[in-house]
């Protein structure tokens, strides 16, 4: 049993993890930057420790400082949330070496699925269908990528091997424009992830973005909690997610869910994760990538299954068996999540900063708001502009 969990994150996800810990009777430790001194997660936690200056590279990305706080506070586990250090295999390994439980997958699984090209090679070997692209594991030069583009065909996507969230991604319509797009994709990937390596993938036009939530314990049990429809995006970043998808029937859901579990088992996966697929107009589905962490949109799955995914993460990390078997997972009604972003719609939706002067949150049956802000809280330019999530449930879509 964990007595104390450190949350290595901020904002709404830190508040949400604190809530789960509190309901399980576990004490919580918050960490914060100078810009987040008055943040909600700092107020809610049992203890809070300053990490450093506002920029994330000097605070929330400082694994050494976070582990120092964990030792000082005598926390026996760390939950990384999403973003920051959540998909860093070296951080998971450092936690293990320090004798502190990492509430997430093993470092080897994060490494295997974190490099998108290695992930493709791994699931191909396990018989999972993937979008046609560059299957080679390793760094390919621009010349090699240009040569392979002919074989794949246009349109195609340049994608960062270490990335996500649309960073380092470019759509290519012709060979003529590709050299310049390769350079800009590599630059952006290097800036965002410290790794400028990219690979190519066929652009499946008109495809839906469908992801399956999976849970796996340390005893070989793995299940899927249904799917989420994440097709409504802007600049390759999700804006609205729902569960279940209107495009899937029971037969297709079972087939894709079984493949999702198979992909996770290919890397001996433990804890919560998400297998992302593209679904074309003929209902052919292709493995896209695996997110080796909790997803921003996990609440829609919680709303339709009644399963608290964060509590399950904590139980799994403690070495417990999964609370549920596949036959126990039932779907009830329909849920939709809207991301609430601090952006300026009159300036191409660029992040907007300032002080929140007024906040009126919706309430009532079937309404959930996950947030980390309140009236008087200052939105700074240092972090992601998503400040809250509105999740709603109904009997039907």
List pLDDT tens digits, range 264-296: 999 999 999 999 999 999 999 999 899 999 999
Q: Take residue 48 and report the two structure tokens written for it.
A: 């809070």
Tokens of 136: 């080679």
Paired tokens of 383? 């972090």
In eight-state DSSP terms, residue 152 is H
Q: Which residues of the chain register pLDDT less than 50?
A: none
Backbone angles phi, psi at 337, to 5 degrees: -115, 135
Instruction: Using alpha carbons, select from 159, 144, 138, 309 the residue that is nearest to residue 223.
Output: 309
Distance of alpha carbon 80 from alpha carbon 104, whole angstroms: 8
The tens digit of pLDDT for each residue in 105-114 reads: 999 999 999 8
- Please tell me whether the peptide bond between 155 and the residue prior to it is cis, using omega within 30 degrees of 0: yes
Four-residue CA torsion sign, 223, 238, 102, 119? positive
Residue 36 CA to residue 291 CA, distance in Å, equals 27
Positions marked active-site: 293
- Report pLDDT for 192: 81
Cα–Cα distances in Å, from 391 out to 22, 208, 209, 327, 368? 21, 21, 19, 26, 5
Give pLDDT, residue 135.
Answer: 67
Q: Does the N-terminal peptide bond of residue 388 adopt cis geometry, omega within 30 degrees of 0?
A: no
Task: Report how far apart the first and last C-alpha atoms of the chain are (Å, whole number).
Answer: 39
Nearest-angstrom CA–CA distance, 228 and 248: 10
Buried b (16+ CB within 10 A) or exposed e, 347-365: eeeebeeeeeeeeeeeeee
Q: Produce one character per residue of 221-240: b if its CB has 16 or more CB atoms within 10 Å, e if not.
A: ebbbbbbbbbbeeeebebbb
Burial class for 346, CB neighbours closer than 10 Å (0-12, 13-18, 19+)? exposed
Q: How many degrees, rounded to 5, is the angle at CA 130 between CA 124 and CA 134?
A: 85
Q: What is the structure's pLDDT at 60? A: 96
């Amino acid at each position: 049993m964990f007595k104390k969990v450190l949350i290595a994150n901020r904002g709404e996800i830190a508040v949400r993890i604190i809530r789960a810990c509190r309901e399980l009777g576990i004490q919580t430790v918050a960490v914060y930057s100078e810009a987040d001194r008055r943040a909600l997660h700092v107020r809610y936690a049992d203890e809070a420790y300053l990490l450093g200056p506002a920029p994330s590279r000097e605070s929330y990305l400082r694994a050494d400082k976070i582990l120092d706080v964990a030792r000082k506070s005598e926390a026996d586990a760390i939950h990384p949330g999403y973003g920051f250090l959540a998909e860093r295999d070296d951080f998971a390994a450092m936690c293990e070496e320090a004798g502190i439980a990492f509430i997430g997958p093993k470092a080897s699984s994060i490494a295997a699925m974190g490099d998108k090209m290695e992930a493709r090679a791994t699931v191909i070997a396990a018989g999972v269908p993937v979008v046609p692209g560059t299957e080679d594991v390793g760094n390919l030069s621009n010349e090699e990528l240009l040569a392979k583009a002919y074989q794949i065909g246009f349109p195609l996507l340049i994608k960062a091997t270490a990335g996500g969230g649309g960073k380092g991604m470019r759509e290519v319509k012709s060979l003529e424009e590709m050299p310049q797009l390769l350079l800009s994709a590599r630059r952006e990937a290097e800036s965002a992830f410290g790794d400028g390596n990219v690979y190519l993938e066929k652009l499946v036009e008109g495809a839906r973005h469908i992801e399956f939530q999976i849970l796996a314990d340390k005893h070989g049990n793995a299940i899927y909690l249904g799917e989420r429809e994440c097709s409504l995006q802007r600049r390759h970043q999700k804006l609205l997610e729902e569960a279940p998808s209107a495009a899937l029937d029971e037969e297709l859901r079972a087939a894709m869910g079984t493949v999702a579990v198979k992909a996770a088992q290919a890397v001996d996966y433990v804890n919560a994760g998400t297998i992302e697929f593209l679904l074309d107009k003929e209902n052919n589905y292709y493995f896209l990538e695996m997110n080796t962490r909790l997803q921003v949109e996990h609440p829609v799955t919680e709303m339709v299954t009644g399963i608290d995914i964060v509590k399950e993460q904590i139980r799994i990390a403690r070495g417990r068996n999964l609370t549920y078997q596949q036959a126990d997972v039932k779907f009830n009604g329909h849920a939709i999540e809207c991301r609430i972003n601090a952006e300026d719609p009159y300036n191409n939706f660029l992040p907007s900063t300032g002080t929140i002067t007024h906040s009126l949150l919706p309430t009532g049956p079937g309404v959930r708001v996950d947030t980390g802000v309140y009236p008087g809280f200052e939105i700074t330019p240092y972090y992601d502009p998503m400040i809250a999530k509105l999740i709603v449930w109904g009997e039907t879509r």
